[in-house]
């Protein structure tokens, strides 16, 4: 049995610079990863099987395809046939929530299969981008500057162990619809240098179109930003999950209690950056 964690991804800042002729968008982003996320497990079996467990399994019930299976098939096409496998996805992160859940799951599957087949992990990025724009970053699994569609990655240091609180107000938003709502205005590049300083000076250009689809996101960002000890509160990716970074664990834990008291129906996750 091989077990791989699929850590949650957040965008500390996300600048959309241009629409590309291929239909994608040119972005600049600061990726960061949490210590917690989904879990992918593979084990030998007499026939291929796929099961989804965990609190967010019902959100994927009846789904025609899954990025975990797409990753399996892409790996087999690139590196040769696989033996029958029982694959389990323990879905602990909300679906369509801007924290890379599906992309992280696909990346975890690629890593697990590379361990199974003794494939050099350095060969995996070649097939990752075809699975999704965030999959290369999730495959890297560490803080990084992302350019292009997000696949041009430069690893960053200085963010490890920062306490973080994720909050999702219980809505799923379509990434395609959020990007389609971007107003097309290039508001400038990300700052260089210290990643936290750059994040504080940056923005998420997808937050306004996401708010137009799900106005409750504004309430989540506001609730987080009003907590003591917050250094940065913002929506992640295309939403609807929002995050707050804290100066220490005690401030994060107090904020988690306050959010739970104010909105007990919202999902939240306490973690730290890696």
Catalytic residue positions, numbered: 9, 134
CA distance 94 to 55: 9
CA distance 210 to 242: 12
- Coil/strand/helix, residue 247: coil
- Find the length of the chain: 274
Our CA angle for 91, 146, 219, nearest 5°, is: 55
CA distance 74 to 142: 23
Answer left, alpha or beta for residue 141, where phi above 0 means left and psi between -120 and 50 means alpha. left
CA distance 8 to 141: 9
* Gyration radius from the chain CA atoms: 18
Burial class of residue 161, CB neighbours in 10 A (0-12, 13-18, 19+): exposed
Crossing angle for the helix pair 101-117 and 67-79, nearest 10 degrees?
Answer: 30
- Coil/strand/helix, residue 97: coil
Residue 222 CB neighbours (<10 A): 11
């Amino acid at each position: 049995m091989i077990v791989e964690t699929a850590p949650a991804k957040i965008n500390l800042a996300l600048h959309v610079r241009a629409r590309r002729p291929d239909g994608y968008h040119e972005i600049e982003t600061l990726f960061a990863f949490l210590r917690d996320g989904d879990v992918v497990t593979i084990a030998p079996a007499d026939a291929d099987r796929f099961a989804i467990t965990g609190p967010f399994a019902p959100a994927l019930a009846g789904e025609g395809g899954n990025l975990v299976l797409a990753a399996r098939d892409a790996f087999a096409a690139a590196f040769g046939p696989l033996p029958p496998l029982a694959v389990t996805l323990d879905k602990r992160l909300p679906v369509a929530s801007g924290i890379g859940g599906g992309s992280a799951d696909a990346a975890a599957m690629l890593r697990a299969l590379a361990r199974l087949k003794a494939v050099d992990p350095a060969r995996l990025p070649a097939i990752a981008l075809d699975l999704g724009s965030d999959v290369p970053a999730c495959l890297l699994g560490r803080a990084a500057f992302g350019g292009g569609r997000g696949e041009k990655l430069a690893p960053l240091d200085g963010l490890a162990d920062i306490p973080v609180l994720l909050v999702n107000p219980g809505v799923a938003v379509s990434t395609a619809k959020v990007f389609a709502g971007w107003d097309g205005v290039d508001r400038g590049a990300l700052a260089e240098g210290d990643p936290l300083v750059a994040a504080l000076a940056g923005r998420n250009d997808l937050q306004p179109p996401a708010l137009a689809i799900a106005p409750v996101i504004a309430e989540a960002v506001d609730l987080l930003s009003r907590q003591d000890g917050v250094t940065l509160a913002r929506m992640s990716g295309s939403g609807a999950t929002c995050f707050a970074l804290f100066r220490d664990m005690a401030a994060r834990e107090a904020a988690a209690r306050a959010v739970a008291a104010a909105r007990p129906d919202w999902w939240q996750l306490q973690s730290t950056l890696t």
